[in-house]
A = this chain, B = another copy of it.
Amino acid sequence: MHEGPRGPSIRVFITGGTFDKEYDEVQGRLYFKDTHMPEMLRLGRCRLDVSVRTLMMIDSLEMTAADREIIVQNCRQCADRRIVVTHGTDTMVETARVLAEAGLGDRTIVLTGAMIPWTFSSSDGLFNLGSALSFVQVLPPGVYVAMNGRYFPWDRVRKNRQTGVFEEDS
């Protein structure tokens, strides 16, 4: 595989989720505006060859089959073999399954997200981003979920809804 001086080229697709929620101070509620990905990459002093594209900005509980088809199509048309997808945690495993069943060839696709929005000082977002960008460089082709410092093949993971932790699902 061709690699430039900044390592392999990586595509990041943004779909929204807790990761990118912020606080609307006039309405007093969480909402989506723009992704915080560029700011996060800057904070992490990331020097990877990353290009970011926002596909949608939605809560993953509201993600439809049509939305998932948009993600599939973008992965299929993507020139990069290494893809990170930011995603709400509630249906992350469902989207991973759809991507895996779509048959996307020799691509390594890693889905990640956050339990706490990046705009909170207690966010896990930066940790998860560092983790996902690392796994995507070294894992063999396939679809994975990266959360809680771990990676899981798409068909061996579930989100424990009581604890919010991603666990092996055998």
Contact = CB atoms under 8 A, between A and B. Distances in A.
Interface in A127-170: 127-135, 137-139, 146-151, 161-168
Nearest to A6: B150
Contacts of A124: 43-45
Interface stretch (A69-77, A99-107, A113-121): A113-121
Contacts of A164: 25-26, 45
A88 to B, nearest CB: 8
16 contacts: A6-B150, A18-B28, A23-B116, A26-B161, A43-B124, A44-B131, A44-B149, A46-B127, A47-B148, A47-B165, A126-B126, A126-B130, A127-B129, A130-B131, A134-B134, A134-B149
A122 interface: yes
Contacts of A166: 47
A7 B150 contact: yes
For this chain, the copies found in one complex come to 4
Interface of A: 5-7, 18, 23, 25-26, 28-30, 40-41, 43-48, 50, 59, 90, 115-117, 119-124, 126-135, 137-139, 146-151, 161-168
Contacts of A149: 41, 44-48, 50, 130, 133-134
A18 B41 CA distance: 19
